[in-house]
């Protein structure tokens, strides 16, 4: 049974702009930017949540419905790098 701490339910998500593309990178290119691995159970697809330029959060988007998810960075957080997410 999966650890419930790695599952995120998106119940109240608002529309927001897409995460910014890393400086010097083009969309779809590989870069050294830090990211979280997200499994969107609702669409059976993987996506990445990239660390913001100011280093305060990771932001990702569902590949199907494009809802935005934000993971705050702070004390007492987790060192986990992969999460299961559901937009439904």
Integer Cα distance of 49 and 82 in angstroms: 10
pLDDT at 29: 54
Compute φ and ψ for 50, nearest 5 degrees.
Answer: -90, 150
**Model's pTM, two decimal places?**
0.65
Residue located via tokens 């995460």: 19
First to last CA, the chain: 20
Decide: 63 and 78 in contact? Cβ < 8 Å: no
| Tens digit of each residue's pLDDT (9 = 90 or more) over 1-22 | 455 555 555 554 444 454 454 4
């Amino acid at each position: 049974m999966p650890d419930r701490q790695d599952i995120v339910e998106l119940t109240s998500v608002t529309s927001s702009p897409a995460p910014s593309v890393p400086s010097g990178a083009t969309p779809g290119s590989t870069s050294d930017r830090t990211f979280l691995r997200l499994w969107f159970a609702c669409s059976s697809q993987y996506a990445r949540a990239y660390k913001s330029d100011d280093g305060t959060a990771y932001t990702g988007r569902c590949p199907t419905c494009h809802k935005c998810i934000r993971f705050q960075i702070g004390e007492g957080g987790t060192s986990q790098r992969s999460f299961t997410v559901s937009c439904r």
